[in-house]
Amino acid sequence: MFCKKVAIEFIASNQEMFDLAERPYPSVQNLPEWFGKMDRYINTHPDVDKYGDPNSTIKKCMPVVDIISAGYHIPLISDVWLDNGGENNLSFTWSWNEIELITLQKPEQHTSYPTPSGYYNSVFKWVNPWIIKTPPGWSTLFVHPQHHEELPFRALSALVDTDKHPAPVNLPFHVRKGFDGLIKRGTPIIQLIPFKREEFTASFSQDKDNVLKNIWTKAHTLFFERYQKHFWTPKKFSIEEKKTSKCPFSF
């Protein structure tokens, strides 16, 4: 249940970017290719094995669906061509050549950072054309587009207090080894998940009255969609374009 809408604003760094750049969009609009190809059930149809386990696939797992579709994607605003000459000879060219789109992070800034397996050590940065503005008390988690393992790069995660930060957050990434060629305009380069900052305090207890156990047992009276029907809450991320009136007397 939604109590109210929380506004997140994407502010272009200049008029040209506002007019021409690909705009951020809800992540749910660009699900991974493998997700679209996968059936919801092993062998297509619902079934239960002799142990009582349903044959649902990961496509029916709502926690996976939720993280894939959470927040917003920032898309690449220009075609990029990567000439791959190996670790020390990676060269980028982009079609919108009037802008700065990719920079190299100084090696001294990440000397001991663990490079993901299958990626080059060098760290590059996408130059982000958008300032992200959230309401007071709200921050933004920046993560690699979730479960988009087909991408030829791996974004580094970060958390930014976007209610206070007045500039674009540039986006570091590693390049996948062996990739050479085109990264298309519109490719998601980062996923943004806004969240409200709260003070959390941890404690430990025991489920003495079996309250939680009983809730779980009730859910297990179903073979299929236990989590979705008993525990899941829909999430919504949308885009609202600001409307302008043609009336000369309107403000």
Structure tokens at 80: 């990029």
Q: How confident is the model at residue 2, as a pLDDT? A: 53
By three-state DSSP, how is residue 54 classified? Answer: strand
Of 8-22, 35-49, 231-245, the range with the lowest mean pLDDT is 231-245
Structure tokens at 45: 């149809």
Q: How confident is the model at residue 48, as a pLDDT? A: 93
Structure tokens at 225: 């969609």
- Are the CB atoms for 21 and 129 separated by under 8 Å? yes
Structure tokens at 233: 């809450």
Using alpha carbons, select from 241, 238, 196, 225 the residue that is nearest to residue 28. 238
* pLDDT one-digit tens code per residue, 146-196: 999 999 999 999 999 999 999 999 999 999 999 999 999 999 999 999 999
Q: How confident is the model at residue 87, as a pLDDT? A: 85
- The rounded percent of the chain whose pLDDT value lies above 90 is 85
Collect all residues with Cβ–Cβ distance below 8 Å to 175 and sequence separation of at least 6: 82, 84, 90, 119, 120, 122, 124, 152, 153
Using alpha carbons, select from 33, 178, 189, 32 the residue that is nearest to residue 118. 178
Q: How confident is the model at residue 250, as a pLDDT? A: 44
Q: How confident is the model at residue 22, as a pLDDT? A: 95
For residue 88, pLDDT over 90 is answered with no
| Separation in Å, CA 1 to CA 16, 70, 109, 215 | 39, 16, 44, 20
Using alpha carbons, select from 149, 123, 130, 115 the residue that is nearest to residue 14. 130
- Are the CB atoms for 24 and 130 separated by under 8 Å? yes
For residue 251, pLDDT over 50 is answered with no
- Prediction pTM value: 0.89
Q: How confident is the model at residue 4, as a pLDDT? A: 77
- DSSP for 93-155 reads EES-TTS--EEEPPGGGGTTS-PPTTB-S--EEE---EEEE--TTEEEEEEPPTT-TTSSEEE
* pLDDT one-digit tens code per residue, 194-243: 999 999 999 999 999 999 999 999 998 899 998 899 999 999 999 987 66
| Separation in Å, CA 178 to CA 82, 86, 89, 122 | 11, 8, 12, 14
Note the Cα 101 to chain centre separation in Å.
Answer: 20
Note the Cα 73 to chain centre separation in Å.
Answer: 6
Q: Among positive and negative, which fits the CA dihedral 169, 86, 187, 56?
A: negative
**Max intra-chain CA distance, the chain:** 72
CA 69, CA 71: separation in Å to the nearest integer? 7
CA 132, CA 165: separation in Å to the nearest integer? 8
